[in-house]
Structure 1
Amino acid sequence: MVGFAARKGQNEQLGLFDRELEHLPPELRWREWMGRVEAVIFAASTPVTRSVLAGVVGKSCNIELIIDDIRAELAGRPYELVSVAGGWQHRTKKVFGDAIQAAFGQQGREGEKELTQSEALVLMGIAYFQPITRGELSSFFGKEVSRDLIGVLRSQDLIASGPRSPQPGAPYTYVTTKAFLSHFGFDTLRDLPEFEALEDAGLLSKERLLAGDIPAGLAGGEGDDEDNGAKVDG
């Protein structure tokens, strides 16, 4: 039994992925690490975290410097390496947006659709005040936020159920997801624009919100079962 365990350990060592690359001179080692990091990010369909990248480079490798060098090499390319949703991802530069739209029309990424004004407003409310219940959203906007509208945001993986609220009935709260960060190009929620910036851009008016001047599309769903915990999606 001991001999088998020893042989198994030797085999694992022989097949161990070489992260350190100590046999290479420093410059070639750095280039290999750059290639590995970019390959992993390129192959991934979602942002790649630092911990994942650390698994393919040596302990002495500074991943942030690797990222900087990759970005420098991509300076003249139509795509770039961006920090988003707590990781890194290749994305086409915004300046080429018109060319992409001309090629593919209004088609978005698979499974996504353009949000309506009502959906965008509710998503904004969740993003800024999470965790928040549907009842609290309805009170904030002055009109009922329907379960159907919440369902649309959930189906796009932009929001998810949060912890139950301490309110009577322990309704579920809602929070944004990593997909939300990725969709809007945020690294963390700290990247959300200030309210003043949204007002300047004409996307938000505190006075209108407080006055309940919200599109009628917010209302029209079924009862309050979801808020009192009787039914929860997914």
Structure 2
Amino acid sequence: MRRSEAVLFASASPVPRDDLARVVGQGASIDLLVEDLSADLEGRAFEIAQVAGCWMFRPRAAYAPAIRAAADVGDQLLDLSEFDVAVLAAIAYHQPITRDGLKDIFGKEISRGLIGRLHARDLIGTGPRSPRRGAPYTFVTTKQFLVAFDLETLADLPEREQLEDADLDGGS
């Protein structure tokens, strides 16, 4: 159990099940191991979270304000504009999608710079080529997108109707 804890602690990114299995042996139950580690961390300032099919240590949400205040640690998405986030949401809900597809949603051209910013943060990646004339690139969300938004899978995205009811759909 402590070897797994060390691997999770030392990893800068979420650790896949296969990596944990290599540390503890293929016969061990990773789910039981994670449950034991979680129980061991009860009452501590951090927890084990499952994101994107992997596990990671993270501070408990209750400590986020203290962490930001003490270390000036901001969320990686804070420097994205509202429109950048809207484009990211459109990609998440309509993937794989081309720039032309995004143009259809927003009624205007989506700049390569915006796509580049999302790609540089590893929130989106290149998907399969579109079967349309010229075979344009498509865009899809990445594992880092799931981590950034604390999602296990894309199925955990809010239903589009919920976004519309909250007026968070950007008018799409």
TM-score, normalised via structure 1 length: 0.69
Aligned position for 2:123 = 158
Structure of greater Rg? 1
Number of equivalences = 172
Distance 1:65 1:200, change over 3 A: farther
Q: Secondary structure at the match of 2:119?
A: helix
Q: Which amino acid aligns with 1:138?
A: K
> Where does structure 2 lack aligned partners over 5 or more consecutive residues?
none
2:6 aligned residue: 39
Residue in structure 2 matched with residue 116 of structure 1 by the alignment: 81
Aligned pair partner of 1:139 in 79, 82, 104: 104
Distance 1:149 1:84 in 2: 26
Structure 1: give runs of 5+ residues left out of the alignment. Answer: 1-33, 210-234
Matched AA of 1:103: A
Report % sequence identity: 51
Q: Partner letter of residue 122 of structure 1?
A: V
RMSD: 1.7
TM-score, length of structure 2 as denominator length? 0.92
Contact (CA 8 Å) 2:68, 2:74: kept in 1 or not? no
Cα separation, partners in 2 of 1:184 and 1:87, compared to 1, 3 Å? same
**Structure 1 Cα separation of the partners of residues 167 and 3 of structure 2:** 43
Aligned to 1:189: 154
Task: Find the aligned partners of 2:15 and 2:120 in 1 and give their Cα distance.
Answer: 23
Q: Where does residue 64 of structure 1 map in the other structure?
A: 31
Counterpart for residue 91 of structure 1:
58
Q: From the superposition, tell whether residues 58 and 156 of structure 1 become closer, same or farther in structure 2 (CA, over 3 Å).
A: closer
Cα deviation code 1:59-117 (max 9, x no counterpart): 33111011011111112011100001220000111111111122133x436x7752110
Among candidates 62, 69, 73, match of residue 102 of structure 1? 69
Deviates more, 1:126-135 or 1:58-67: 58-67
Task: Read off the aligned partner of 2:26 and give its amino acid letter.
Answer: K
Q: Quick one: distance in 2 between partners of 1:160 and 1:139? A: 20
Are the aligned partners of 1:80 and 1:90 in contact in 2 as well (CA < 8 Å)? yes
SS of residue paired to 1:132 = coil
Which of residues 168, 173, 196 is equivalent to 2:138?
173
Amino acid at match of 1:79: F
Give the deviation of 1:56 after TM superposition.
1.4
Compared with structure 1, are the counterparts of its residues 98 and 202 closer, same or farther at alpha carbon in structure 2 (3 Å cutoff)? farther
- Contact kept, 8 Å, 1:112 with 1:156, in 2: the verdict is no
Question: Structure 1: how far apart are the matches of 2:160 and 2:144?
Answer: 22
